[in-house]
Structure 1
Amino acid sequence: MTIEQLKISGIEKEINFAFAKSGGKGGQHVNKTESKAELYFNIGESTILPEFSKKIIYEKLKNRINDKGELVLADETSRSQHTNKANVIEKFYELIAAALKQKKKRRPTKPSKSSKAKKKSDKIHHKKIKALRRGDF
């Protein structure tokens, strides 16, 4: 699924948010506002994602899933709660899309004639150098 497909699917309805006080340096303002945005998405209870997609997400994003089976993301880069919420939603879409993107299978290639010839000439050259080192001439 691409990011556009995820946005169209209405997956945003299944997302829960929590807000907390952001860490780090700051003045009087930092202790009063809850600007850190935390996103919680319960993968198992999702009605939009098919079962095979849920399994892939569980495997690829297992480090970000808590004991309740929720995907947890947080953002506290901005001083604004709305900006952090928008950032964490965008991060969520990117993570899900990247997890569900299929890898291209590698097609094995055969070496060309010129590369085979170069390899052989390199071996012969190396053989001659080693023969000169032997000293039994």
Structure 2
Amino acid sequence: MIEITSWLRIEDDEIVEKATRASGPGGQHVNKTSTAIELRFDVRNSPTLPDDVKTRLEALAGSRLTQDGVIVLFAQGSRSQEMNRQEARDRLVELIRRATEKPKPRRPTKPTYSSKLKRLETKGKRSGVKALRGRPKGDD
């Protein structure tokens, strides 16, 4: 069981981990050992996540989310399979933790009187500059 917050935990059977060969330099070691970890977590079919967290998590996942609603994380930074497994799990936990935070509702505000005046003054100056860019009048 993986603890996300004090009130949210994910069962180990909800996560699918697969060891694959890592890419990049490493000589013979990289060609014969499967140290990279591909972690998959099905967001849409998860029984433990609330619906609002699922929605925010899908938005946060971005390109890591498949068409079926599965988050795919790939960790290959370490030469150790166990360290890569822990790194992938940590990234998943952090992603879900960020999705549990409810966004602060935006309160619309009105522009102040002085900001309105400043905007109109700037518009007047810009229009004056642009008017000078035209052809001179009356010098034909």
Residue segments in structure 1 that go unaligned for 5+ positions in a row: none
Per-residue CA deviations over 1:90-117 (Å, capped at 9, x if unaligned) read 1111222333433333323222232233
Q: Which secondary structure does the structure 1 equivalent of 2:5 belong to?
A: helix
Q: Which secondary structure does the structure 1 equivalent of 2:17 belong to?
A: strand
Aligned equivalents of 1:82 and 1:96: distance in 2?
A: 21
Aligned positions, number: 132
Give the number of the structure with larger relative contact order, counting CA–CA contacts within 8 Å between residues 6 or more apart.
1
Percent identical pairs in the alignment equals 34
User: Does 1:65 pair with 2:61?
Assistant: no
1:8-87 aligned within 5 A = 9-13=8-12, 14-58=14-58, 60-61=60-61, 63-66=63-66, 69-87=69-87
- For normalisation by structure 1, the TM-score amounts to 0.70
Q: Which secondary structure does the structure 2 equivalent of 1:106 belong to?
A: coil
Instruction: Give the partner amino acid of 1:32.
Output: K
Residue segments in structure 2 that go unaligned for 5+ positions in a row: none
- Judging by fraction of residues, say which structure has more helix: 1
How well do the aligned residues superpose, as a CA RMSD in angstroms?
3.2
Aligned equivalents of 1:128 and 1:66: distance in 2?
A: 53
User: Which sits farther off after the overlay, 40-49 or 62-71?
Assistant: 62-71
- For normalisation by structure 2, the TM-score amounts to 0.69
